[in-house]
Structure 1
Amino acid sequence: MPPIGAMGWVRALARGIPLAFLVFGGLFILLLVRLAEQPIYGLHRPITPFITQFVCRNAFRILGIRFESQGQVMKERGAVVANHSSWLDIFTLNARKRIYFVSKAEVAKWPFIGWLARATGTVFINRDPKEAKAHQDLFENRLLAGHKLLFFPEGTSTDGVVVLPFKSTLFQAFFTDHLRHELHIQPVSVIYRAPVGADQRFYGWWGNMEFGPHLLKVLAAPKQGSVLVKYHAPVRVDDFPNRKTLAAYSEKTVRDGVETAAR
């Protein structure tokens, strides 16, 4: 990353300090509310997701990134699948819809992102075939409790331009006898538009990129771009014969949404 210069540091501080107050202030309030919410409602979270949404919506106002959405959020019981481009997805996908991320276990140990993920009810899983049954039981409990779990079937983040093939493994959890006739799946396309004159991959965070420098680059940008979230029509799980056909449909729908917006 090239040096950001004196004015870049000014912009980074002008955005970063209010953002830190918003995020950590919201996190503190959420944890306090959760102390009362958990013993009363258990797995259900009727209050704290609204705190998360408030924080995420206002994060974009502080950053100066324009947030747009199209389509209707799913009302039916079920899960959400989306493409994964950036740490900004945490804010993007929480800003309008009450969802709970499904993430690899190591994310829980990451500073900043891990704290937010744990506090907001993220489901952490290990990539160990021996734990597949435990993961399936966990998904069932959360989905049947009405939680909208959000999966990133690509399995990793990308540059924000391409959509990688969807891995079908996690889709198998939707095809159990308890779930397949109960659930809908909503594909969601997330499209980041770079600031004018910047690389179209500006908001992408992938590969071996470090979080700190990427965050600083976004905070210091003289101009910001926008993010568009497309909510596609939900589909019933039992309309598909197996996990591979559902994964293929979801992948095509998400990719078409990204490519259409890029034209």
Structure 2
Amino acid sequence: MASPPVTVAGWGRVLWRGALMGAVTYGCLILLLALRLIERPLFGLRRPWTPFITQFVCKSAFVILRLPLRVTGRPMRQRGALVANHASWLDIFALNAAQRGYFVAKSEVEHWAAIGWLARATGTVFIARQGREAKRQQRLFEDRLRMGHHLMFFPEGTSTDSIRVLPFKSTLFAAFWSHGLEEVMWIQPVTLAYHAPRGEDRRFYGWWGEMDFAPHFLMVLAQARQGRLEVIFHEPVPVDAFADRKALALHCETEVRAGLAGRL
């Protein structure tokens, strides 16, 4: 989907929205890093304070964009993870705005310019799928879960056009069947349903395939009348209620897919 040309008025919105989002994001990042100097010696990997800063930034992004965010259902209180469909770079903001948690990302993200720095600062868990680091990072993954951190990941493995759900890959679900985690962990499926602005392509907020980030980011910033976004929390389920990771992945996929179909 090609991005429409940005008008003069659109560039005005890009400038003030972009400047405000940058000021809020990096201003709060400085505050977060300063607070971590106190939080880390006292609590180690536990982060009782700084996730509130991340959540504030993400909520502020939707206010700045004038993109209404509606939350349906209740975020779980049990230990475990949230799994959602992946449609856009906005997903990160949406999930963090609705529920304080930590993303699970491929290890390559850690080295991305700007994004990798933000991800590390906000406590993202990086997973190497191969090599010597895989086992060490698997232990870190388990440690974070046992601490009560709510981890968040996208089992599709890639982003989509926002109007469909790809089959969930069961690979990451395997982490919940190790060292007794299946007896104490829960999983909550979450549907992200994007509604395009009136008159725009239904896939307006989707960011997928070979689409470049910058043009899509500018298009969203420039949009005068935004659409809306729904975050739908489905009922959490205990991991040990399922025979294996494939059964759990299929259940989550079915819930998310039904949630999206019901909204679109």
TM interval, shorter chain, is: over 0.9
1:56 counterpart residue number:
58
How far apart are 1:129 and its partner, in Å?
6.3
Identity %: 56
**CA deviation map 1:176-222 (0-9, x unaligned):** 13201010100000111111111111111111211111111110112
AA paired with 1:27?
L
1:179 counterpart residue number:
181
AA paired with 2:61?
A
Work out which of the residue numbers 220, 230, 233 in structure 2 matches 1:231: 233
Work out which of the residue numbers 130, 146, 149 in structure 1 matches 2:148: 146
- 1:121 partnered with 2:133: no
1:218 counterpart residue number:
220
Where do residues 69-80 of structure 1 align in structure 2 (5 Å cutoff)?
69-80=71-82
Question: In 2, distance between residues paired with 1:240 and 1:135?
Answer: 25
**CA deviation map 1:106-127 (0-9, x unaligned):** 2222233322211110011223
How far apart are 1:14 and its partner, in Å?
2.0
Runs of at least 5 residues in structure 1 that lack an aligned partner in the other structure: none
**CA deviation map 1:9-59 (0-9, x unaligned):** 011112111111111111111111111111110010000000011111111
How far apart are 1:132 and its partner, in Å?
4.2
2:167 counterpart residue number:
165
Aligned pair in 2 of structure 1 residues 167, 51: CA closer, same or farther (>3 Å)? same
Question: In 1, distance between residues paired with 2:35 and 2:166?
Answer: 38
How far apart are 1:131 and its partner, in Å?
4.7
What TM-score results when the alignment is normalised by the length of structure 2? 0.96
1:107 counterpart residue number:
109
What TM-score results when the alignment is normalised by the length of structure 1? 0.96
Where do residues 196-215 of structure 1 align in structure 2 (5 Å cutoff)?
196-215=198-217
How far apart are 1:134 and its partner, in Å?
2.9
AA paired with 2:136?
A
How far apart are 1:81 and its partner, in Å?
0.6
Question: In 2, distance between residues paired with 1:111 and 1:6?
Answer: 29
Question: In 2, distance between residues paired with 1:130 and 1:174?
Answer: 20
Question: In 1, distance between residues paired with 2:225 and 2:15?
Answer: 15
AA paired with 1:200?
R
User: SS in structure 2 opposite 1:171?
Assistant: helix
1:240 counterpart residue number:
242
Runs of at least 5 residues in structure 2 that lack an aligned partner in the other structure: none
Question: In 1, distance between residues paired with 2:150 and 2:215?
Answer: 32
How far apart are 1:5 and its partner, in Å?
2.0
- 1:84 partnered with 2:82: no
Question: In 2, distance between residues paired with 1:151 and 1:221?
Answer: 28
